[in-house]
Amino acid sequence: MSSSSNASNIALNRQALFQAECHVERNKTQAYLIRSVVEENHDSILKNYHAAFRGNRNLANANTDDLFRNRQMLIRCTKVDSDVQVNFREAKSNEAKIEFLEHRADLNARVLGTTEKQAGANAKLIEINSDIMTNNEEVVTFNSAQIAKNTDLIASGCGVDKATPESNAALIASNAQRIAAITAQAAENSAKSAGILASTEANRESISANAAAIQERRARMRANQDHIHENQDKIAALITAVQASASSASGQVAANKAAIAANRAELYNVEGVVLENKTRAYMARSVVEENHDSILKNYHAAFRGNRNLANANTDDLFRNRYAILRAMKIDAANQVHVNFREAKLNEAKIDYLEHRAALNARVLATAKKQAEVNAMFIEINSEIMANNEAIVAFNAAKIAEHVTLLAIPDCMAKYCAPASPEDNAKLIAANKARIDALSTRASANSDKAAEVVVVADKNRASIHKNSEGIQERRERMMENHAKILVNRAAIAKFVADM
């Protein structure tokens, strides 16, 4: 193999290498563009989440509290003339409480179900952070190996004196083979980029649709609030001192009275459990949200912090490598020596591009997972919005009942006029059955709350472990940086001695 033939092949490799470098760097830009879009989508999802859960949900719940306050006052304003009517009023009071608690227990279950999905999405985010940390570890390991190679080149020279046309030809052939592999991986990364970008755009459309729906639902909540306040003004005009006529109840009336009291006692206990579940559900949601914030902290530390540091180390060490090779003492008239240096420069570029192409693939794989997790969070937001819609619809129905009742002249005098002991007994029995169902549901919600907290605590332990790993990796990156600086000083002396 002649030196002139080797020189020609080196030039061909340099041309292919330039094209591969452009492709790899374009993939790098595309990968970080996709990551940027995915992150922007995630931030928009969080904006929707805060608007739907911390904003609209509080408004909807406040409306529910206000309208049931109105309901209880309406019932208390009922004019009663007999024990039958007293029993009717008290049973209706229990019924109103049951309606509220059924709604609250159902909402507790939905909050816990959504929180469970959030915990699952957090676990996927933890996995993504672990992937990023693994990628950072590979960059650190790669950098360490390349720093050692630079150190060895500085200490022992580049081996140009041992170069032959045959060894140069083998190096050139190896370079050509690696360039072809880099080009193939770059093409594969380009294809992946297109697919991931399409999914991120689909996510963006869903996010925008959710944002519009959140605004529309907030407007309906505010309309409900206006109706509630209108009803409050009408109820205020009805408030009078209402006294039940004194009489001695007997028979069915007395039995109804005792059953109402028993229902109220049981209802009080169930109310305590339901409202405790509400506290537990929001406590679990609070832990999951805190975990999510901690995951994002780790993400920013691992990707925006450590990854930039690791990539800067890679750039610095290859800058050192090129300086070492260019400072190589060769006989410019000796084409074998010239070919050796040029082939080694190509090899150094190949080392970098192989690393960069592999890292591009890992960045894209992680971005794909992030896009999938974003889809999970969009689903979670949709559930929260659906729950908000259920509250809005529930509130609107109860407001309509109040409006209808308040539209009847002398409504509170007529409200319990048709009551009979038999009708009251049916109402009391229905209330008892609903209280029993509430108790069962509340127990199930208590169990679910405990399960969700266990998952959240497990996630928290993983998050803490990742945080420690990020710090340990950062320290190793700084150690590599110190070695790069040592090599840089040695190279400066090496260049000065040329």
Residue-wise pLDDT for 262-279, tens only, equals 888 888 888 888 888 888
Q: How far apart are CA 37 and CA 39, in angstroms?
A: 5
d(Cα 343, Cα 13) in Å, to the nearest integer? 9
Give the DSSP letter of residue 161. G
So what's the pLDDT on residue 287? 86
pLDDT in tens, 146-191: 999 999 888 877 778 888 899 999 999 999 999 999 999 999 999 9
pTM: 0.83
Residue 284 — pLDDT band, cuts 50, 70, 90?
confident
| Number of domains composing the chain | 1
Helix axis angle, 335-406 to 3-49, nearest 10°: 10
- pLDDT digits 0-9 by tens, 359-399: 999 999 999 999 999 999 999 999 999 999 999 999 999 99
- Domain hosting 330: range is 3-496
Q: Please state the φ and ψ torsions of residue 119, each to the nearest 5 degrees.
A: -60, -40
Token pair 């993983």 is found at 462
* 214-266 confidence digits (pLDDT tens): 989 988 988 888 888 888 777 777 765 444 444 555 688 888 888 988 888 88
Instruction: Identify the pLDDT of residue 3.
Output: 82
Question: What's the pLDDT score for residue 241?
Answer: 43
Cα distance between residue 316 and residue 176, in whole Å:
25
Question: Residue 188 corresponds to which amino acid?
Answer: E
State both tokens at 280.
């537990």
